[in-house]
Structure 1
Amino acid sequence: MRDGVLVGGVDEAGRGSIIGPLVVAGVSIRESRIWQLTEMGVKDSKALTPRARARLFGEIMKVADSVCIRKVNPVEVDDNVSLRGLNRLEARVMAAVINNIGADEVYVDCCDVNPIRYSDYIGQYLKCSPKLHSMHHADVINVVVSAASIIAKITRDEEIQHIRSKYRTIGSGYPSDDRTMRFIRRYVAKNGNAPEFARKSWKPLRLLLEQTAQCKLRA
């Protein structure tokens, strides 16, 4: 066991959401203390109840050597999707997180079909030289990435709850959620535009806005 080695994990929450920010979180911890994450019950955030995530969030913050969180607002997501794509944006933000957690070895949950290519994307923005592992399902396989997934999920849920406190019936924020899409359709019908916390580059909303603009021209 390499007592002095810092191991990092990086994951995101909200990548596919049509409402709210994309959140990327990174956690670093001494390799000799990773067992503490396993012992406290850390696993992929999607496999945990909201109550368990909330408990683990606090415990992770206590045992981690470093935690870094980056929020990407919908406007920045839209701008980057139209220019270079979501994978490039996520790689850049993950690199910014890695630059801040000081880990010697880092595991990231890969969103690209090609993990090697995604490592290269991240490497273009790194200002440090950790040993980088880009892996599919890293949030399930690696407990440090699981810890990062919990931090990202809780942070994003707080952002969604802030929006929900004002607009109430927004659903989960994902386009597969009928409640979310009903909210967006009603908002656009009433205001003629999308809410500032929605991603206009997402196809369902983009098409809705195009239809709304065409109706205005015919009127």
Structure 2
Amino acid sequence: MSGPPLVAGVDEAGRGPLAGPVVAAAVILDPARLPQGLADSKRLTAARRGALERVIQSQALAWGLGLATVAEIDEHNILNASLLAMQRAVAGLSTRPTLVLIDGNRCPVLSYPAEAVVGGDALVPAISAASILAKVVRDRIMERLDRQHPGYGFAIHKGYPTRAHREALARLGPCAIHRRTFGPVREGLARAASSAATAVPG
């Protein structure tokens, strides 16, 4: 006799930034222990996300994380890199799901039945939980990268194209964790190359 379905929710964080990896999470919630206050991570404060991360990790039946690097984003494009991170998150689950629900309109190639759910991070508790884990983990990564690449403000804007980030990019040029295929970064590289080519030796 088969047990209840095990639904894994999957979401990613970091498709829009100009720098840093894209991070995905997969979560199988325990129907008997659903965390209170789950919502789309973008609608929660950083403190609330941090508190929910601990609850999700302690109460979920299983959870996994996956990451796609800046090099993979530049090589495969951000959509395919996001799908790759999702594959890795699902592969990291310690329990095999019977169904995987993906936030958005595209599913990665998986060995389990999968469905895409547009707006799923606000509709499906397991996807909401995944969105929270992915966001918290990626923010933590960007805070660490800020210490390795000071001056850009990564700890504040997390790599998103804010005015402050664009100004730092124009002033300092791209660093090792900037996505070379993204327009503003590509323009910064072109400016740097042009300046180097026209520089007159002293």
Which contiguous aligned blocks of 4+ residues in structure 1 show a shift greater than 3 angstroms? none
Unaligned runs of 5+ in 1: 189-193
Partner of 2:102: 108
- Please, which of 15, 33, 36 is the counterpart of residue 34 of structure 2? 36
User: Does the 8 Å contact 2:39/2:128 carry over to 1?
Assistant: yes
In structure 2, the residue corresponding to 1:36 is in which secondary structure? coil
Pairs aligned (count): 192
Q: Which amino acid aligns with 1:129?
A: Y
Alpha carbons of structure 1 residues 95 and 71: separation in structure 2 relative to 1, 3 Å? closer
The aligned residue for residue 129 of structure 1 is 112
Asked if structure 1 preserves the Cα contact closer than 8 Å seen for 2:65 and 2:90, the reply is no
Q: Which residue of 1 aligns with 2:20?
A: 20
Which of 140, 143, 147 is 1:158 aligned to?
140
Question: CA RMSD of the aligned region, Å?
Answer: 1.8
Percent identity of paired positions between Structure 1 and Structure 2: 27
What letter is aligned with 2:126? V
**Matching residue within 130, 136, 150 for 1:148:** 130
TM-score calculated relative to the size of structure 2: 0.87
CA distance 1:201–1:195, change in 2 (3 Å): same
SS in 2 for 1:195: coil
Per-residue deviation at 1:144? 0.6
More helix by proportion, 1 or 2?
A: 1
Distance 1:196 1:69, change over 3 A: same
Task: Give 1:169 deviation, angstroms.
Answer: 4.9
Runs of 5+ in structure 2 lacking a partner?
A: none
Q: Separation in 2 of the partners of 1:154 and 1:160? A: 10
Pairwise CA distance, 1:163: 2.3
